[in-house]
Amino acid sequence: MITVWGRRSSGNVQKVLWALTELGLGFERKVVGGQFGGGDDPAYRAMNPNGLVPVLQDGDVTLFESDAIVRHLARTRGMGTLQPADPAHAARADMWTCWAATTLFPAINPLFLGLVRTPRAAQDVAALKPAVAPLAERIGVLDRALAGRDFLCGATFSFGEIAPAIFARRALGLPFGAPAAPNVAAWLGRLADRPGFARWVDVPMGGCLEEWTAHEKALG
Ligand SMILES: N[C@@H](CCC(=O)N[C@@H](CS)C(=O)NCC(=O)O)C(=O)O
């Protein structure tokens, strides 16, 4: 029995939901985090002492940290597919997953929080301007890596596409400061054919909490 704890508006939760769908695994989801609360409940803190989402329960294995969860699913259910059999492909999947967490995420997050999670009337676009160039630089790195390639990490889809794609989609969907990156846009377009991306990631970014609450109810 697999249970995912987390609201679907979280990019880190989306990584796990996308991976589970790639693997065709059934799972139960408990909506926790953000406007839904629950992260401070003692029972939740016992699973994740940070109080953050996602958490995965896989039988008697309980994990936090989205990238570790995705790798666990890939190693245990996706050897040769989500988890590349070729060590070089697997190493590149690790590399781009680390890059997404340590380099891309910090560049997109101020703009995402300031423009998507903040109500329009409270947005301070001028204060966000310094964040635009660093994001463009990092998306430029991704764009050059994708030149002439269908996938970032190897000849086939693997877990290494997941984290970069989630944060790149946020970057290209920003209402202000979205970088121009034709190879990234084409890659996201190809990923949109994958049911896990279409269902969990490629949904309106629109943003306000009311919209996401409606998504949770309407989309499940
Ligand atoms: N490094 C952690 C970060 C987890 C994290 O920051 N989660 C955010 C959502 S993306 C969170 O739980 N925020 C508080 C909340 O939703 O209540 C991971 O990758 O799982």
Question: Could you tell which of 10, 113, 167, 170 is best to mutate to test the pocket of ligand 1, judged by most ligand atoms within 8 Å of the CB?
Answer: 10
Closest listed residue to residue 167, CA positions, set 4, 18, 2 = 18
pLDDT in tens, 139-152: 999 999 999 999 99
Beta-carbon contacts of 54 under 8 Å, excluding residues fewer than 6 positions away, are 4, 5, 6, 10, 12, 13, 15, 16, 64, 66, 69
Top-confidence residue, 115 or 6? 6
Q: By C-alpha distance, which of 105, 25, 114, 109 is closest to 67?
A: 105
Instruction: Please name each of the domains of the chain with its CATH number.
Output: 2-81 (3.40.30.10), 87-211 (1.20.1050.10)
Distance of CA 217 from the midpoint of ligand 1 (Å): 21
| Ligand 1 neighbours (beta carbon < 6 A) | 10-12, 33-34, 39, 52-54, 65-67
Count Cβ atoms within 10 A of the Cβ of residue 76 and give its class: 0-12 exposed, 13-18 middle, 19 or more buried: middle
User: Pocket of ligand 1, candidates 32, 36, 53: which has the most ligand atoms within 8 Å of its Cβ, to mutate?
Assistant: 53
Question: Which among 12, 7, 22 is positioned nearest to 193, based on CA atoms?
Answer: 22
Q: Would you state the pLDDT for residue 24? A: 98
| pLDDT one-digit tens code per residue, 13-49 | 999 999 999 999 999 999 999 889 999 999 999 999 9
Q: Which long-range contacts (CB under 8 A, 24 or more apart) does 125-134 make?
A: 125/176, 128/176, 128/177, 129/177, 131/107, 131/177, 132/176, 132/177, 134/107
pLDDT confidence of residue 60? 97
What pLDDT is attached to residue 117? 85
Read off the pTM.
Answer: 0.95
Mean pLDDT of the chain: 93
Beta bridge pairs of residue 61: 58
15 CA closest ligand 1 atom index: 19
Token readout for 39 is 């992260």
- pLDDT tens per residue across span 104-151: 999 999 999 998 888 878 888 899 999 999 999 999 999 999 999 999
In order, the DSSP letters of 161-218 are GHHHHHHHHHHHT-SSSPPP-HHHHHHHHHHTTSHHHHHHTSS-----HHHHHHHHHH
pLDDT-derived band at 209 (thresholds 50, 70, 90) equals low
Q: For residue 11, which atom of ligand 1 is closest to its CA? A: 10
